[in-house]
Chain A
């Protein structure tokens, strides 16, 4: 029976004809934000290494991270962080076996998006608003 089934099993999802849903989109965004932040973390460690080394080295790295390009990377990482944070809590709830019905999963996905936007805006105000 097992051998007869091999090779006939469906190989889903067929991405070209797959209609995106909030659940599948947030799932892949979780992975993308995770990998993206890993790259940003390397820059942050580099910044700490430079701060512990010398004024000249620190000014070079800090200047890069606070240039428009650096702000773009770190600002994007901040957005990625808050998404991964709230969506991660969603995952932890599922791992505990909670809130897994279709309606609940779609609703928590929308909450995660709204929470991400609010937290990102609030942190940007914290950084640039001089609070």
Chain B
């Protein structure tokens, strides 16, 4: 042990996996969400409580539906990455951490599919 240098001791451990890709993608999704959140939020806020007819009308517009679909795909990716960091920071017991990380990806992957399906169904005439 004492013959190992610090560099040698840590090589292959820690973040030397896909941390860089995670970091870059989190920034890319963040930048994409600047226009997408604004574009999603305003028609959505106006549709809340306006009745189902108005909602179907709003999202039968290709523009509103496409912005909503893009928003849901990108935001679910951004959320997956954010929750992953929170789990990695606060859950130290490795087995539980891995279980939660898998559950996190599964849950937000499914949420993306439900969201895209729902908006598409409205856009194609629910």
Q: Which residues of chain A have a CB within 8 Å of any CB of chain B?
A: 1-3, 31, 34-35, 38, 41-42, 44-45, 47-49, 51-53, 55, 58-59, 62, 65-66, 74, 81, 85, 88-89, 91-92, 95, 123, 126-127
Contact = CB atoms under 8 A, between A and B. Distances in A.
Nearest to A4: B2
Given A52-B118, A66-B49, A85-B37, A126 B42 contact: yes
**Most chain B CB atoms below 10 A, which of A41, A48, A49, A88:** A48
Contacts of B9: 2
A91 to B, nearest CB: 8
Contact of A53 (B6, B68, B119, B126): B126
A81 to B, nearest CB: 7
Interface of B: 1-2, 6, 9, 27, 30-31, 34, 37, 41-42, 44-46, 48-49, 52, 55-56, 59, 68, 72, 75-76, 79, 82-83, 86, 111, 114-115, 117-119, 121-122, 126
Contacts, number: 80
Nearest to A85: B37
A49 B48 CA distance: 14
Contacts of B55: 51, 58
A70 B3 CA distance: 62
B72 A127 contact: no
Contact of A74 (B31, B48, B72, B121): B48
